[in-house]
Each structure stands twice: as structure tokens, then as C-alpha cells.
Structure 1
Amino acid sequence: MGVGRSAGKAAKKNNLGSKVRAKRRARGMTQAELARRLGISASYLNLIEHNQRPLRAELLLSLAREFGLGLDDFASDDDHRLGAHLLEAFSDPLFEEHPLNSAEVRELASTSPAVARAVLTLYEQYQRARNSLAELAEDSYARQEITGEVDGSERLRQATGEVLPSEEVNDFIQRHMNYFGALEEAAQRLWEDAKLKRGARFAAMAEWVERQGIGVQLTSAGEGRLIRRYDRDLRRISLSEALPPSSRNFQLAAQIALIFHTGLLDELSEDDGLTTPSSRSLARLVLANYFAGAVLMPYGRILDSARSQRYDVELLANRFGTSFEQVCHRLTSLRRPDAEGVPFHMIRVDIAGNISKRFSASGIRFARFSGACPRWNVFRAFQTPGMPRVQVSTMPDGERFFCIARTVAHGRGGYGTPQTTLAVGLGCPLSHASELVYADGMDLEDEDAMLPVGVTCRLCDRGDCEQRVLPSLRQPLRIREDVRGVSMYSTTEV
């Protein structure tokens, strides 16, 4: 009896019944027809679809076979993420006259995911068009003032709402939880075939490539701005000598993937979520970079080292001859079902707050349509370049995370060459913090030491935040002319 109730609660929490109903309707099947195929009564299927009965393992397997799906298609994380993105979209002031609560939005995402994705796509197109038209107006005004010309055809084309390839690829990586077993296997084969060893990987990889009839050469730092090039006619890979050794190794490994595993990259990038040639091409490059990280830091070795060194990123970078950022990337990909590492999230930002990379296995939410919370330590890392910063964060929903952040420099080396400073943040649920060396000496139970952070201002209802720049969606805006709180939109009574 107790087990049944627990299973029922789990089914309700995961909304598996709603998924079954959505997939049945998508195939034009009646409840009676599906029930007959599953060998259960129509009334019992009706209870399952309304999350009133648990979806037993044998039924889940039967449903997967019936619909020609994998078990991953019934995972609940996608619904949660879809609901979160939808809630962020509805936080736009555009919808202020149409108040929706979070329960209604999440129900839409759970029971009608196709409709929810359509709404989200429509909002994304609206956002893109609005931003492009604003840029067009600014550009046209500036051009008219300077030259008297107005030429915004390219901006107008963008305003029609083409999907950004980077967003589709980010979603693609998130759906796969940043783990690609086939690339891991291919990387392991290269490690063994090329007899790679720590400290001599570039020479070993170059020798292996040359045995395949392709040359490898280093080019002078003064020969243009290219850092990697493959000449298909001459069958020659050229890499800039200005690259630091970690980047040189990484670029050579990535090019090996692009040359020798093109079929695998094509197969993996044939994904329904990648809707344009540009998205699929970008996905191929991202997958080639994944392969490179797996070559330089083989799964078993990096996982064992991470555990023994308690996820000390700097020590791991020294051990594997890689960079701080490369190690952070690799740690997020340790998601093999039978040998998982700490579930990390990762974010990379520039000093202007633009997010150039994001992935979450920890459960933390990143903003999709607006800037992130400035209280995140990834932004404060710019105040102490090169020094790791730690933070225990508590989100508005009560979830808690342990995060580290540090700046990283991007450049080709050499005097006078431009350097770009970015900040990389790596974090995990607070329950895993004790596994990280960065948590040593910290009282992880100290409520006063936990910094309240949010996703974006519009989705955060904390009224006492001095860095708030927009009113909260959940709090009515009440301006009191004679009282000023920590911000203009503070809701704290003074």
C-alpha cells in the first residue's frame, strides 16, 4: 500500500501520465485502442493519463515500444525546463494585463508541450524582431546623421525572426545532458591507437595523423589571424604557434574529429531541434570540441582524478595539461549513467554580462530572454582576476547551490596581441559541495552566509535587493514618492 502511494506520488510529480496522453493524441489513437494494445483497461489508462495511477516499469517499456520511442522521451526534466522558459516569457511586461500564475504555466507545459513550445517559439520570434527593429532604428538614425543614407535591409531580414543557431545548439546540448557516448568511445580509441601520454600528446597525435596521410605544421604567429586551418587539397593541418600548448592540443584533436569522424558528427547533428544548416554546422563544431575534450581528458582518468583531487580545477588542469576552462567544460560532461561525476552547471560571461556558454546538470535555471542575476559570483570574479571566488547561493524557490568562479584570458599570446577576459562559473547542488575542495572550511549550514540570488529580476520577488533593475512579475508595482528603499522597485516597507 505504501509503495503504491509513493509510486502514485512520483508519477504525479513527474507528470508521466500527461506525457502518455500527449503522445497518444499526437498519433491519433483513442484511449480504448491504446489500452487494448497495452493489455490494460481503458479506465485504468484514463487514471494513468490523469496521474492518478503509477506508470509501472513494464507499462513504460510497452509504451516506449508502441510509440517507437526511447525511455529518455518520457524524462521529466524537459517539462520542467520548458515550463521555466515559458514562465520567463510570460514575465514580459507585454503580458501584465493577462496575469498568469506559475501553476497554470507549468500545467500548460506538462499537459500540452507542443502548444507550449509553439507559444515559446512565437515569443522568441517576437523578441528577435523587437530587438532587431530597435537596432535598425538606431543604425538608421546614426547613418542618416552621418551620411544621409538609410540602408537597413540586412537588419530587416533579421527582424523576420530567424532562429539563432546558438540557441538551438544550446538546447541540443541540454537535451543530451552534455553527454555523447559515441564520441567518448571514439576519443578512447584515438587515445589507445595513438598511444597518447601526458606531456607528449601533441607529438603523438601529429604522428598518428601523419600515418593517415595528412601533414601537421605550425605556422608563424604573424601569418594572419587564423589559429587552425585544414587544407583539403594539400591534406595539411596548420596550427598557429601563438597558441598555448593546451589550446594547440585541443585544436588538433578537434580537427581530427572533423576529418576522421565526419559521419558520426553528421549523425549526431541530425536532430529535429536543429532546424537550419547553420545550426547543424555549429553543432558539428561543438561536438568536435566535445571530442577534443574527451581526448585530452579521457573519461575514466578525469573522473578518477577529479574524485581523488576533490574537483580542484587548477590541479586537474596541471595534471592533464589543459586550461581552467577546458577542465570546467569536461567536468560538466561526466554524465555516463554508470559512472557519473558531480552534477555541475557552467556559465561563461564577458564583462558586459553577455552569456556565451551555458549548461545545467545541477538543476539551476539560466535566463533565456534576459540578463542573469548580477549577484552571481561569476560577475564578481572580474573584481579579482585569476582568483577563484566561492559562493553559496539560495534561489527564490529554496534551491541551494555551491558555486566557484574565476576569470580566464583568451588570446593568442605575444606582446601587443589583444586579450579577452571572460569569467567562468561552475556550480553544483549544495548537497554535493562537500565533495569539492573549495568548500573546505566553510559552514555549509550557515543560513546567514547564503547569498540570495535569482534568475532574472522579473522572476525574482525579493524586494530588498539593492541591484534590482526591474519590478518583479509576482509583486504589484507600488511607487511611494516619499519613501525610497534599496532600489526604486523595492517592496520592503520602511
Structure 2
Amino acid sequence: MQQSNVQIGGRIKRLRRQRKISQAALAEALGISPSYLNLIEHNRRRMTVPLLFKAASYFGVEPGEFAESEEPRLAGDLMELFGDDLFVDCDLTNQDISDLATSNPAVGRAVMRLYDRYRSLNTVANPVSAQIEAGDSVTTDAVSDFLQQNANYFAVLEAAAERIRADIDHASDSFEHGLRTYLHNVFGLQWRLAALPPGKTRKVDADRGEILTADLLPAETAAFTVAQHLGRISAGSAIQQLIVAASLPEEAQPVARNALTAYFAAALMMPYEPFLQACKETRYDIERIGRRFRASFEQVCHRMTTLQRPGRSGVPLHLVRTDIAGNISKRFSLSGIHIPRHSGACPRWNVYGAFLNPDRINAQVSQMPDGQRFFCIAKAVTKGGYRHNEPKRHLSIGLGCHVSFAGELVYSDGVDVSNMELAVAIGVGCRICPRAGCAQRAHPAAGHRMAIDDSERSENFYANT
């Protein structure tokens, strides 16, 4: 495993401070000088593989847990922010922004929140321009940040799901039958299929003691939506405590509640330890695991990103979901890759190319402008369309890891991830991507003054200008 390209200094520094360990003491334990450790903690030196494992052993964590690092992600978000035309005259360099993210992450997060609020107010004042500029709302940004700050792992919800799953398994060998029995015995609810109005997937009739799911839903979707409601009524207080502790904006709380009940549902359908074991046994074979747990492709991918139990973690992954218009509706990254917060992502990324090869898992070694490489898979899926003439939703699900973990995924078999020539150069978004000569550039690079030569014309107007 080649871990040297992963910037993990911030993670080591946080662990050291949390455990009140001096730099000198940690440096002595690792067999390096305090000055060298200081450079590592500020991401100015790379970790070698032996040193990584020594640090993991010292802190009692798995090496993969070090891949989570807030600073690179925050720096990427800030670079995207400062790429806005609003800051064109500020003369900020990428190093200035990286220094802010590293030395004052709290200030960096405050700047992000202020900018999100500015965009929200600008959307209200300029509804037409808001329709032109694609981007997440303040609400979804706040919830994405909340999940990211918790590494998409919530021990209290895992524990609640495990307790209920034990009762379900005791009631029946079939998860669906056991879930029905549990709902009836504990909450007096009968689960049955019904012909619900178009667009409705679930309805709870408290007066009749029924929970209804649309009779046209796939079995895994019906089970998930019932498990999500079970999360609302059985783990509601724990979910509310998580939301209150996060100090989320009021408008973001319903979205956060939906995300956490969905987390509970996934933990109930795919219990942590059996699911982690299945990931290791199959090397993250999504479709094979889906058959084992009777879950959809997207459900399995999402569950894979939650495997962050201390001492029992999985591969640190990123997840992105986008539609054919490029709207990103889910984004989460533990791999270190930067997923755009506001602007559209790079069209060279396989999460978009997957639409050209539906029902097939597309693999790609993606290289970011800073040189870091990631192993990414993506698959286009369809949702809806269960009724005659009902339109379908076309989505692409992207999952990936830092290239150093690629060997742990079955999809890397036959791919020479060490071959730099196979890597596809991608960026975060055209406005902040430094690759001026890209033929697929849709916008001029932020901070780059265009110089047009009328005697020559590039394939792309914005390339090499």
C-alpha cells in the first residue's frame, strides 16, 4: 500500500492534542525528530508506510482511519469559494487558502458558512441568476458538512439498530417477516402494500394502525422506507439529540432528520459487523453484497461510506450522486478527493461518463491537479418509472478511494493503478481548475486573465487563453 501521497498531518495533530500528548513525546515514540513531526503535522512532509503503521499502532487505530483529514477538503472548498468572481481582485493564492485551512480551520469553516448565507440571500434577490447557477442550497450544504464532520458514522444509531435487529432476527429468519412482526408486536403497526397516489412511497395511518408502502416499489426500497420510519419512532430522541448538538440551522433540521433516519435504516438492513465482513470477504463487490443483504446498488454504496467504527473501520471512501444535468444531490468524502460544493464537477470524471454506459460499473484512475490519484467506480441507475408513462430518474452513483487503497476493491483487478499514463486528469470544476489547456473547459479559470489571439483558434475557446 502506497500511503505516502495522503496528507494526514491534520489527523495526527488532532489525535495527539485530543490525548494531550506532546510533540516531543510522540516523535520519540515514532523514532523521528520533533521538527520532522512538526512538518508532517503541517502536511509539509509525507508519511512513509512503516511510519504510518507505527503511528496507527501507537494511537490504537487502523491505518485507514488516518486518511480522514479535514484540511485538504476544507482547503478545496475554500478554493472553490474564492474562485467566485466576487473575489477576483483579492489576489489570493492557493497557498494562502491552504494555509488558512491548515492553521485556522474554524475560521475557514466560518468563512464557508458566511459565503453559503450570502449565496442564499443572493438567490432570493436574484431568482433568475439562481436558476442559471447550479449549486447546493444552504440547507443541503449544512447537512453535508454535518455528516462530513462526523465521518458519516453515528455510534448511537448503530447501537439502536443492532438492538432492534437482534429482536427482528429472533422473530424470523427472514428480515422482512421479522420486521413485520416487530412493528406489530412493539408498535401495533401492520405493514401492508397499497395502491398509493403517484409519487407517494409510504403512508402511515395511525388511526388504523397501518404503515402502507406503494405496491409498485422494488422490495429493497419498500423495506428501506419502512425501516426509515422505524428509525423515526424508535430512535427519534437520539436523532434529535444529534441534531441539537450540531447546532444546525432550523431549515436544515428536517433534512438532517431524514439523513439520520436513512442512516438507521441502512444500519438495520445491513448490520455493521456482518456488512464489514462481507466487504472484506468480497473485496467490496457491491452487487454481490447487495444480493446477500437484499439491498440496492445505491444502498450498499452509501452503507460502505459509514464503516468508520474505531478499530473496525473499512476503506475510507467518497460517494457522489449526480443526475444527467450535473446536479450533485449527495456528496461525502473520506478518500481526500474534493467534490464540488457549489460549481459543477469535471465532465472527465467517470461519474458522468457512466451515463454513456448504463448498467455497467465503470472504473477510472482519476488524478487531481495537485497530483493525488484516486480509484473511482461509477454506475448509472434509474429510479421510478413504475407506472405506465411515468418518467424515470436517471442518476449516476460514484464511489472511490485513494489509489493507495485500490487493491482492496475487486474492481481494480486488471487495472494497473501504478501506471501514471492510465490516470485521467480531472479537476474540481472549470473555474478553479488550473488545467488551462483542457478541451472540455466550460469556463475560464478564476484569477486567470484571458489573452485572446485572433490569429489562432483553439478547439475550445477557453483553452490556452
Shorter-chain TM-score: which interval? Answer: 0.7 to 0.9
Structure 1 residue 110: deviation in Å? 3.6
Matched, 1:101 2:93: yes
Whole-angstrom distance in 2 between the partners of 1:433 and 1:355 = 24
Name the amino acid aligned to 1:124. Answer: D
**Structure 2: runs of 5+ lacking an equivalent:** 1-27, 44-66
Structure 1 residue 273: deviation in Å? 4.3
Deviates more, 1:108-117 or 1:250-259: 108-117
Contact 2:227 2:265 in 1 (8 A): yes
Contact 1:370 1:456 in 2 (8 A): yes
Structure 1 residue 178: deviation in Å? 0.6
Matched, 1:394 2:421: no
Structure 1 residue 416: deviation in Å? 3.1
Contact 2:171 2:182 in 1 (8 A): no
Structure 1 residue 15: deviation in Å? 5.1
Match in the other structure for 1:469: 442
Q: Judging changes above 3 Å, is the alpha-carbon distance between structure 1 residues 163 and 324 closer, same or farther for their aligned structure 2 residues?
A: closer
Match in the other structure for 2:245: 271
Of the candidates 341, 353, 358, which is equivalent to residue 368 of structure 1? 341
Whole-angstrom distance in 1 between the partners of 2:405 and 2:311 = 18
Return structure 1 stretches of 4+ with deviation > 6 angstroms: 196-199
Structure 1 residue 137: deviation in Å? 7.6
Of the candidates 74, 78, 84, which is equivalent to residue 86 of structure 1? 78
Match in the other structure for 1:321: 294
Whole-angstrom distance in 1 between the partners of 2:172 and 2:423 = 40
Q: Judging changes above 3 Å, is the alpha-carbon distance between structure 1 residues 192 and 2 closer, same or farther for their aligned structure 2 residues?
A: closer
Name the amino acid aligned to 1:77. Answer: S
Match in the other structure for 1:248: 222
Matched, 1:173 2:147: yes
Whole-angstrom distance in 1 between the partners of 2:73 and 2:114 = 17
Match in the other structure for 1:10: 37
Structure 1 residue 87: deviation in Å? 1.8
SS in 1 for 2:376: strand
Contact 1:82 1:109 in 2 (8 A): yes
Deviates more, 1:89-98 or 1:449-458: 89-98
Q: For residues 143-183 of structure 1, what are the alpha-carbon distances to aligned partners after superposition, in whole Å with 9 as ceiling and x for unaligned? A: xxxxxxxxxxxxxxxxxxx9722111111000001111111
Name the amino acid aligned to 1:487. Answer: N
Contact 1:393 1:401 in 2 (8 A): yes
Q: Judging changes above 3 Å, is the alpha-carbon distance between structure 1 residues 83 and 137 closer, same or farther for their aligned structure 2 residues?
A: closer
Q: CA-atom RMSD, angstroms?
A: 2.7
Whole-angstrom distance in 2 between the partners of 1:223 and 1:95 = 48
Q: For residues 421-454 of structure 1, what are the alpha-carbon distances to aligned partners after superposition, in whole Å with 9 as ceiling and x for unaligned? A: 1110011111111111111111212222110001
Whole-angstrom distance in 2 between the partners of 1:184 and 1:398 = 36
Structure 1 residue 104: deviation in Å? 1.6
Contact 2:194 2:212 in 1 (8 A): no
Name the amino acid aligned to 1:10. Answer: L
Q: Judging changes above 3 Å, is the alpha-carbon distance between structure 1 residues 131 and 117 closer, same or farther for their aligned structure 2 residues?
A: same
Contact 2:364 2:423 in 1 (8 A): yes
Q: TM-score by structure 1 length?
A: 0.77
Structure 1 residue 474: deviation in Å? 5.7
Contact 2:360 2:379 in 1 (8 A): yes
Of the candidates 101, 112, 115, which is equivalent to residue 120 of structure 1? 112
**Structure 1: runs of 5+ lacking an equivalent:** 17-74, 140-161
Name the amino acid aligned to 2:108. Answer: A
Structure 1 residue 415: deviation in Å? 3.3
Match in the other structure for 1:483: 456
Alignment of 1:201-240 (within 5 A): 201-240=175-214
Name the amino acid aligned to 1:271. Answer: A
Give identity over the alignment, percent. Answer: 37
Whole-angstrom distance in 2 between the partners of 1:223 and 1:127 = 36
Structure 1 residue 225: deviation in Å? 3.5
Contact 1:402 1:429 in 2 (8 A): yes
Whole-angstrom distance in 1 between the partners of 2:366 and 2:172 = 37
Name the amino acid aligned to 2:419. Answer: D
Name the amino acid aligned to 2:81. Answer: A
Contact 2:346 2:426 in 1 (8 A): yes
Contact 2:117 2:138 in 1 (8 A): no
Alignment of 1:3-82 (within 5 A): 6-14=33-41, 77-82=69-74
Structure 1 residue 338: deviation in Å? 0.8
Q: Judging changes above 3 Å, is the alpha-carbon distance between structure 1 residues 96 and 136 closer, same or farther for their aligned structure 2 residues?
A: closer
Q: TM-score by structure 2 length?
A: 0.82
Match in the other structure for 1:343: 316
Structure 1 residue 4: deviation in Å? 7.3
Name the amino acid aligned to 2:455. Answer: D
Q: For residues 88-139 of structure 1, what are the alpha-carbon distances to aligned partners after superposition, in whole Å with 9 as ceiling and x for unaligned? A: 1111122222211122222233444444334333322333333444325899
Whole-angstrom distance in 2 between the partners of 1:104 and 1:267 = 37
